[in-house]
Structure 1
Amino acid sequence: MKINWFTVIAQVINFLVLVWLLKKFLYKPILSAIDEREKKITDKLKDADAQKATAQKDQDEFKKQQEDFDQQKKALMDKAVADANTQKQQLMDAAKTAADGLRTNMEKAAKEKQENDNKAMSGKIQQQVFAITRKALADIASISLEEQSANTFNKHLKELKEEEKKKFIDAFKSNSNSILVQSAFDLPAKQQGEINDAVNVLLSADTHLQFKTSPEIISGIELSTNGYKVSWSFSEYLNSLEKNISETMKENAQPEQEKK
């Protein structure tokens, strides 16, 4: 078979021209479109990654803000609980203080009432003792209670111990112009003179006494000068009697309380 080289060469040329044409007008635009599309896709992927990173950052910030908010909320709750506990304790302390004050006031009022009752009973006892003593003295010695009290006080002055005498003399020397004699009753002039004589002998000096009536001394006589005091009265006997009566009243009150 004989080859027609002209035809072969012409076909080769046609093929090359066709390839060049395809490359120039078909492949190159297609490749360019593909490259452009790949670039757009890459840019979109980059934008998506950037948006994803931004979204992740926003999410992290929101999470951090949420955690901060939770911590602040917890701190506020803890503070509110602590303040409530503190206020509760303050209210309890105030209530306790008020209760203690009320109990103290009630105890004070009860004590004052008891003291007033004791004073009232003591006054009645004193009146009864005075009446009985006056009657007894009048019956056995025909002597008044006032005179007997003055005599007993003079005897008490004469029987002072040396230590008591020294204290009395020292007090008198430091303020010799103030010797006060108080009695629960008005002393007659005779008894005043006897007491003055007894004091002069005790102090080895000429003294002038100031006499004053003080019913609270409870039928007795009290001599004082510059803080030193010599006294005699029925107080000790009355106190002993009052103590015995108080103990008896308590003993009588206990069975009644046990019955209740």
Structure 2
Amino acid sequence: MAVDWFTLAAQLFNFALLLVLLRVFLYRPVLDLMAERERRTAAPLVEARRLADEAAAEREALQRHKEAFERERAERLEAAMREIEDKRAQRLAAIDRETEERRLAAADALERDVRRVADALLTRVSGLVVDEVRMALASVAGAELDQPAWARFEERLRALPAEQRARLAEAARGTVTVMTPRPLPPATADAARVALLELLGARQVTFATDPDLLLGVSLDAGGLRLDGTIAVRLEALERSFATALDIVGEIAPSPRAPATERTR
């Protein structure tokens, strides 16, 4: 079979021309269309991916914001609770101080009242005791006791230390007054003058009476006094009672007691 090279060449040329025409007018537009379609198809995916990334980033930001908010809320709540607890503790401490102050004030007032009543009662009792002793002595004291009373006073005068007797003798250069509850019997008065002249060198002796002395002798020489009467001893007894009351008041235990600590 003979090959028609011209026809073959023409067909090859036509086929090549067809390929060129197809490439130029059909294949390239199709490729461009497919590329455009691919771009159009990929754009929503890219946008969706971008939106997804943005959503994830926003979600993470929201999560961080939520965590920060929770931390801040917890910190504020803790600070508020601490502040409330501090104020509560301060208020309780203030209440404790006020309660303790009121308790101590009440205890002091009660202590003063008790001591005042006790002092008044003991003072009254001591006064009654001294009054009873005074009345008892007044009822038994009489003229028959004046001579023994002077004898006892003379013994005391003789027993004075030399220095004290010298001062008394110096003061006795003037008038010496002998004070008794009742007038001394004449014999006792004479014995008193002799004793005072002997012991003190007293030359001017006067006698006076004071029923309140009850029993005993009081000697006054120029302002110096030597007293041996029951009245003076009763006054000393009253002072001793008063001193004892003061000492008891000082050493008496206080009714205060430590306050019980409030349970927090």
Which interval holds the TM-score relative to the shorter structure?
A: 0.5 to 0.7
Counterpart of 1:99 in structure 2 is: 107
Pairwise CA distance, 1:90: 3.7
Q: Does 1:120 align with 2:151?
A: no
Please say if residues 185 and 213 of structure 1, whose CA atoms lie closer than 8 Å, have aligned partners that are also in contact.
yes
Kindly provide the amino acid, as one letter, of the partner of residue 83 in structure 2.
A
Pairwise CA distance, 1:116: 0.4
Q: Does 1:166 align with 2:199?
A: no
Pairwise CA distance, 1:117: 2.2
Alignment of 1:70-89 (within 5 A): 70-89=78-97
Kindly provide the amino acid, as one letter, of the partner of residue 69 in structure 1.
L
Kindly provide the amino acid, as one letter, of the partner of residue 125 in structure 2.
D
Alignment of 1:29-178 (within 5 A): 30-31=38-39, 34-35=42-43, 38-39=46-47, 41-42=49-50, 45-46=53-54, 48-50=56-58, 52-53=60-61, 56-57=64-65, 59-134=67-142, 137-138=143-144, 145=146, 149=149, 152-160=152-160, 162=161, 165-166=162-163
Pairwise CA distance, 1:49: 1.4
Please give the alpha-carbon distance, in whole angstroms, between the structure 2 residues aligned to 1:70 and 1:127.
Answer: 83
Counterpart of 2:244 in structure 1 is: none
- Secondary structure in 2 aligned to 1:57? helix
Counterpart of 2:229 in structure 1 is: 233
Q: What is the RMSD of the two structures over their aligned residues, measured on CA atoms? A: 5.1
Counterpart of 1:256 in structure 2 is: none
Kindly provide the amino acid, as one letter, of the partner of residue 158 in structure 2.
K
Please give the alpha-carbon distance, in whole angstroms, between the structure 2 residues aligned to 1:170 and 1:183.
Answer: 20
Please say if residues 216 and 228 of structure 2, whose CA atoms lie closer than 8 Å, have aligned partners that are also in contact.
yes
Please say if residues 185 and 214 of structure 1, whose CA atoms lie closer than 8 Å, have aligned partners that are also in contact.
yes
Distance 1:90 1:126, change over 3 A: same
The TM-score normalised by the length of structure 2 is 0.55
Please say if residues 178 and 218 of structure 2, whose CA atoms lie closer than 8 Å, have aligned partners that are also in contact.
yes
Pairwise CA distance, 1:184: 8.3
Please say if residues 181 and 214 of structure 2, whose CA atoms lie closer than 8 Å, have aligned partners that are also in contact.
no
Distance 1:61 1:172, change over 3 A: farther
Pairwise CA distance, 1:128: 1.7
The percent identity for this pair of structures is 10
Please give the alpha-carbon distance, in whole angstroms, between the structure 1 residues aligned to 2:227 and 2:192.
Answer: 12
Please say if residues 182 and 214 of structure 1, whose CA atoms lie closer than 8 Å, have aligned partners that are also in contact.
no
Counterpart of 1:24 in structure 2 is: 32
| Structure with greater contact order relative to length (CA < 8 Å, sep ≥ 6) | 2
Please give the alpha-carbon distance, in whole angstroms, between the structure 2 residues aligned to 1:68 and 1:212.
Answer: 96
| Structure label with greater radius of gyration | 2
Please give the alpha-carbon distance, in whole angstroms, between the structure 2 residues aligned to 1:24 and 1:42.
Answer: 26
Tell me the alpha carbon deviations over residues 127-171 of structure 1, each in whole angstroms, 9 at most, x when there is no partner: 12221122xx44xxxx6x4x76556434422221x2xx4257579
Please say if residues 141 and 215 of structure 2, whose CA atoms lie closer than 8 Å, have aligned partners that are also in contact.
no
Please say if residues 154 and 194 of structure 1, whose CA atoms lie closer than 8 Å, have aligned partners that are also in contact.
no
Q: How many residue pairs get matched?
A: 220
Please give the alpha-carbon distance, in whole angstroms, between the structure 2 residues aligned to 1:168 and 1:23.
Answer: 158
Pairwise CA distance, 1:112: 2.1
Kindly provide the amino acid, as one letter, of the partner of residue 231 in structure 1.
D
Q: Unpaired runs of 5+ in structure 2?
A: 242-264
Kindly provide the amino acid, as one letter, of the partner of residue 166 in structure 1.
E
Distance 1:103 1:181, change over 3 A: farther
